Amino acid sequence: MAMDKTFDAGSAEPRIYAKWEAAGAFKAGANAKPDAETFTIMLPPPNVTGFLHVGHAFNHTLMDILMRWKRMQGFDTLWQPGLDHAGIATQLVVEKQLAELGEKRTDYSREDFIAKIWEWKAISGGTIQEQDKRIGAGMDWDRSAFTMDDTFHDAVIKVFVDMYNKGFIYRGKRLVNWDPHFETAISDLEVENIEKDGHMWHFKYPLAGGATYDYVEKDEDGNVTLRETRDYIAIATTRPETMLGDGAVAVHPTDERYAPIVGMLCEIPVGPKAQRRLIPIITDEYPEKDFGSGAVKITGAHDFNDYQVAKRAGIPMYNLMDTKAAMRADGKPYVEEAAIAQAIANGEQTFDEAMIAAMNMVPEEFRGLDRFEARKAVIDAITAEGLAVMVEGPPNEDGEVCMAPEMIPYVESKKIMQPFGDRSKVVIEPMLTDQWYVDTAQIVEPALDAVREGRTKIMPESGEKVYFHWLENIEPWCISRQLWWGHQIPVWTAQVPTLSGEVGSWKVNVGDEISRAKAKKFLDNDRLDEKAMGGRLTQGGLLTMEFCAASLEEAQEQIAEVWLARTGQKPSLFSEINTDPGDWYLNYGHSPEGKGIPMWRDPDVLDTWFSSGLWPFGTLGWPNDTPELAKYFPGDVLITGQDILFFWVARMMMMSNAVMDEDPFHTVYLHQLMRDAKGEKMSKTRGNVIDPLVMVDEYGADALRFTMGQMAALGGVLKISEDRIKGYRNFGTKLWNAFSFAEHYEIPNSGNHTLPKAEQTLNKWIIGETAKVRETVDAALETYRFNDAANALYAFTWGKVCDWYLEFSKPILQGEDAAAKAETEATLRWVLDQALIMLHPIMPFITEELWGLADSRDTLLVTADWPTYTAADLVDAEADREMNWVINLIDSVRSARAQSHVPAGAKVPLVVMGLDAKGQSAWDNNSALIQRIARIETLNHVDAFPKGCVTIPMEGGTFGLPLAGLIDVPAEIARLEKSVTKLGKELGGLRGRLNNPKFVESAPEEVIAEARENLALREEEEAQLKAAIARLAELG
């Protein structure tokens, strides 16, 4: 049966993949030797909304290479697949679908909306898993996990409850990154800072009571450059709309310009004139003297830097915006709010966080405006009032200097870093809200130690530095999201009686340091002692307590116990409510009897990364004690993009140590983002996206995979181009043709090809080369140098097997020596088999197809055994040297022929001068193939070369091609002289080194020996060349 001309990837790949699946080749433990070590890789779960892009293709290919390699080596392997529920991304997809029907999320109940998402998932989710099969990824699909599965949900809730009980999780009012589009908090990592064109406005804050001071500016030498009397302090801001929430103006403590007015009050120049708020001028290290005016307005609730300043100085933080980042429209009239605020600023009234949070400092004229509209309105109002700092406008168009230049407001145009939501692409608003946090400081140490102590290795090493830098400065992790799709936080709040039996309102702020410590004590000792918790009763008449539990029932049990302890009666009726407890009391009054005890669950869901942090063990059935968990946890290698080192890798490290008390894997292989051939990020707008599936259609999965492997240099930039993929498709065809060569020569293909006992130099040589490449490939894969493995296999297959071995075998295969022929046939089949085996992890499809051409095989290639022979066993040094000599001679003859324009087909005679015994035997052993490949007619021994002879210097003798008439003497002299010049440089270097006593003293012996040997060889070659030039010169 004749082979097809090329491998038809399009039709073969699905057929082969189906065969693998049918054979259970990807199941955990396939091809495992008895009592084998395990090798586990957890697939970084793609978003359930995801499609296979080139980054996945790269990432998954590397994992598949390792898995296939380890499986063939007989490890007990598991490649665990799965999908991430991807909170925002998934909710967004379904909301978009609703929008097409003219519906909104809020048209549905939470339950109904979540049901819609599950519906969507059943139909469209997880497309990527089918796409993964196209690139040959062999995962244990039956084990595919989903971060919203019931068992996974159990794991998430259990971890939350445990961590809560250990005091690792707390709720607090903090400044968070608020996404006004999705109306949820997001983590720092989900914010992209992008530099945009922006403006900086300069405004005057008048000093209270019309006070004035001497404002003096000096240059570097202390000379006065400006002196004027001012009744204001100028501030510069990029966000005028937040002026309404200012709590102070800060200057640097060493700033002499403002020293006279520190401690004084100034007026926020916006809002109704009668209620202008006065705020203090304070000092803080934060303002930079040279930036803007050197004075910074402090708006603690809407800026991260200001937040720190405000916390340090006890400045109130007024929240100005609603969840859509529009100016607040709730609360009391501005007049009343402003009066209270003023009392606070004057120190006449105490305040607490909750009180400040409730106050709306937005004057009526701005209420309800979008933040950007509000910005314009504020600027206009201030400018109209003459409180903008003014500067001279640009000259008139005719360029003449006017007598009275027009004065315009001072607005600097500059680049401003602005935070954007990575999903929503809208400007993130810092907002002061109640959120849940993981106190990462408490769980970070084991994760740091793992890497510090080398238990977990990050590759490339630079990743470790980045890892340390981030984890050593880690911020609390905000884990609550105001979404519907996700794991809802398992915390209920319920009404409980006070110890004295009365009903009061008791709010514990576990966010601040003191009460958190107390809270921990409380948890350790007595759940019921609210005094230990540092709680305090307020006037509201409602006492509530927080209950963290794995289920509603457990929460109710906890609540009931509190009631039992305090009232002596255990209640059994509960009333789940969704509204604010205050509203509940409006409805039911203060008597819960008959209605049940009011309780409500925190509506927020957990950050997606909280659940994916549990991936390494959640996928194996934890918290259940499954055999898989015992066997495959902890895993071995994590392969993932550098971009999620913090998002995911660091969190898995922390969570795994916190929950399992073990590191989740011993090696983290980080790679960069996949870029296009020019190094640009791929994006739809740029139009430079390479679709891996299109590449698979065009060139086959193997070509794409080989390209991926070949690119995967540690720490390297990943630039992919179609030309490259095409090149490796050609490589596949080359391999294919090696087999069609074997078919053509009718070499038996039993399928049972064992290592032959070789007598022929040629066969000894290629067997040795095979052993060398096996060692190279294993060494490369052991150290995750996929590129080295791929390149070694490419060079072996094409450069050794196809270019030389197959060519060399032709005379034997067509020759009369039956023993030599049989040996060569057996060797050839064995070598080709080895190539298939070693190439299989990178190019699984074509190798499996070629493997299947044999008459019979014990197994599919995917579960064939990986070789273990070594170069030490199989390399025959003598055969090695001889074949290299032969290859060298052929190369030189070919080169000389081409230089002299000898027709390719013409056979020419060869002469040799002074051939030594070794050279003679090398020639004798291989004359047939040298003559065939180099197209040599005869070899004659001569004492002197004839006239017009091209010289070929070789070790052990000088060969010559007598080409009288054909040879261009001056050109040949030029060619030889060029070689001599090149040699001269090398000789110079070698002699320089060897003549340097310090080199001989300090260099290692083998280096010196090598240099000496090299020098001798080069000198011999130089002598041969010079003699040749001399002969030619006589001719000319």
Partner RNA sequence: GGGUGAUUAGCUCAGUUGGUAGAGCGCUUCCUUUACACGGAAGAUGUCGGGAGUUCGAGCCUCUCAUCACCCA
Q: Which of residues 102-121 bind RNA (CB under 7 A)?
A: none
Q: Which helix (H) or strand (E) holds 952?
A: strand 949-954
Q: Are 448 and 616 in contact (CB under 8 A)?
A: no
**Residue range at the interface with RNA (CB under 7 A); choices 61-69, 381-389, 517-525, 737-745:** 737-745
Q: Which of 259, 466, 503, 853 binds RNA (CB under 7 A)?
A: 466
Q: Give one DSSP letter per residue of 837-894, joined into a string.
A: HHHTTTSHHHHHHHHTTSS--SS-GGGSPPP---HHHH--HHHHHHHHHHHHHHHHHH
Closest approach of RNA to the CB of residue 783, in Å: 6
Amino acid residing at 787: N
Out of 741, 765, 866, 959, the residue judged to bind RNA by CB under 7 A? 741
Could you say which residues in the range 535-554 bind RNA, by CB under 7 A?
A: none
Which residue, 263 or 715, is less far from RNA as judged by CB?
715
Tell me the CB-side half-sphere exposure of residue 968, using CA atoms within 13 A. 11
CB 148 within 8 A of CB 33: no
Q: How far is the CB of 594 from RNA (least distance, A)?
A: 51
**Which residue number, 61 or 515, has a Cβ lying nearer to RNA?**
61
Q: For the chain, give the number of residues.
A: 1036
CB of 427 to RNA, least distance (A): 15
141 or 798: CB nearest RNA: 798
- What is the DSSP secondary structure assignment for residue 210, as one 8-state letter? G
Residues 277 to 316 in contact with RNA, rule: CB under 7 A = 304-305
Residue 675 backbone zone (phi > 0: left; psi -120 to 50: alpha; other: beta): beta
CB 891, min distance to RNA, A: 5
- The verdict on 589 binding RNA (CB under 7 A) reads no
Residue among 388, 437, 405, 762 nearest 604 (CA): 437
Subset of 688-727 contacting RNA (CB under 7 A): 711, 713-717, 719, 721, 723-724, 727
Between 83 and 777, CB nearer to RNA: 777
Helix (H) or strand (E) holding 472: helix 462-472
Among 143, 173, 302, 785, indicate the residue that binds RNA (CB under 7 A).
785
Query: Is residue 151 within 8 Å of residue 624, measured between CB atoms?
Result: yes
- Footprint of RNA on 393-452 (CB under 7 A): 417
Query: In whole angstroms, how close is the CB of 580 to RNA at the nearest point?
Result: 33
Using CB under 7 A as the binding rule, the residues of this chain from 658 to 677 that contact RNA are 675, 677
Please give the residues from 5 up to 64 whose contact with RNA meets the rule CB under 7 A. Answer: 6
Sheet holding 957-962, edge to edge: 936-941, 908-913, 957-962, 949-954
Binding residues for RNA restricted to 73-102, rule: CB under 7 A:
none
Q: Are strands 278-283 and 248-251 parallel, antiparallel or unpaired?
A: parallel
Nearest residue (CB) to RNA, 688 versus 899: 899
Identify the residue among 439, 775, 803, 1020 touching RNA (CB under 7 A).
803
List the interface residues with RNA, window 861-900 (CB under 7 A): 891, 894-895, 898-899
Name the residue nearer to RNA (CB basis): 7 or 152: 7
Q: Which of 89, 264, 427, 1003 binds RNA (CB under 7 A)?
A: 1003
User: Which one of 734, 881, 1018, 1026 is in contact with RNA (CB under 7 A)?
Assistant: 734
Quick one: residue 486, left, alpha or beta (phi over 0 = left, psi -120 to 50 = alpha)?
Answer: left
Q: Does 462 bind RNA (CB under 7 A)?
A: yes
Contacting RNA (CB under 7 A), which of 384, 401, 877, 904?
Answer: 904
Minimum CB distance to RNA smaller for 323 or for 1014 = 1014
Which H helix or E strand runs over 975? helix 969-995
Whether cis (ω within 30° of 0) applies to the bond prior to 634 is yes
Output b/e per residue, 56-68; b: 16+ Cβ within 10 A: bbbbbbbbbbbbb
Comparing CB distances to RNA, the nearer of 730 and 920 is 730
Instruction: Find, among 609, 617, 685, the residue nearest to 656 by Cα.
Output: 617
Which parts of 504-533 interact with RNA (CB under 7 A)?
none
**Cβ proximity to RNA, 51 vs 304, nearer residue:** 304
* Closer to RNA by Cβ: residue 389 or 466: 466
Interface residue with RNA, options 172, 571, 999, 1019 (CB under 7 A):
999
Q: Which is nearer to RNA, 91 or 737 (CB)?
A: 737
Binding residue (CB under 7 A) for RNA from 551, 579, 752, 783: 783
Minimum distance of RNA from residue 1002's CB (angstroms): 4
* Residue 354 contacts RNA per CB under 7 A: no
Q: How many residues bind RNA (CB under 7 A)?
A: 71
Per CB under 7 A, which of residues 145..204 are in contact with RNA? 188-189, 191-193, 195
Among 347, 399, 970, 1004, binds RNA (CB under 7 A): 1004
Radius of gyration of the chain (CA): 39
Taking the least distance from each CB to RNA, the nearer of 390 and 966 is 966
Query: Which of 714, 715, 739, 711 is CA-nearest to residue 725?
Result: 711
In the complex with RNA, the residue whose CB is nearer, 691 or 803, is: 803
**Which of residues 104, 196, 469, 1012 is near RNA by CB under 7 A?**
469
Among 257, 303, 307, 258, CA closest to 282: 258
Instruction: Write down the least CB distance from residue 1013 to RNA, Å.
Output: 11
Examine residue 252 and tell whether it contacts RNA (CB under 7 A): no
| 215 φ, ψ (degrees, to nearest 5) | -95, 120
φ/ψ of residue 567, rounded to 5:
-120, -10
- Who's near 180: CB < 8 A, 6+ residues apart? 321, 323, 324, 325, 424, 426, 427, 428, 429
Residue 683 sits in the site that holds RNA (CB under 7 A): no
Rounded Cα–Cα distance for residues 862 and 844 (Å): 8
Instruction: Among 238, 626, 787, 925, indicate the residue that binds RNA (CB under 7 A).
Output: 787
> Which of 525, 1002 has the CB closer to RNA?
1002
For RNA, the closer of residues 459 and 755 by Cβ is 459
**From the list 733, 921, 925, 927, which residue makes contact with RNA (rule: CB under 7 A)?**
733
Please select the residue that binds RNA; options are 353, 365, 807, 1020, rule is CB under 7 A. Answer: 807
Considering only the stretches 225-233, 328-336, 382-390, 734-742, report the one whose residues sit in contact with RNA under the rule CB under 7 A: 734-742
Closest distance to RNA from the beta carbon of 741 (Å): 3
- Minimum Å distance from CB 814 to RNA? 8
928 binds RNA (CB under 7 A): no
Beta bridge pairs of residue 418: 194
| C-beta closer to RNA: residue 857 or 993 | 993
Q: Phi-psi category of 804—alpha, beta or left, where left has phi over 0 and alpha has psi -120 to 50?
A: alpha
Rounded CA separation 379/203 (Å): 9
Q: Applying CB under 7 A, does 1007 fall inside the site for RNA?
A: yes
> What CA–CA distance (Å, rounded) separates 113 from 486?
12
Applying CB under 7 A, does 740 fall inside the site for RNA? Answer: yes
Reference 845, options 134, 41, 214; nearest CA is: 134
Contact 751, 855 (CB under 8 A): yes
97 bridge partner residues: none
> Least distance to RNA from the beta carbon of 831, Å?
12
CA atoms within 13 Å, Cβ hemisphere of 21: 15
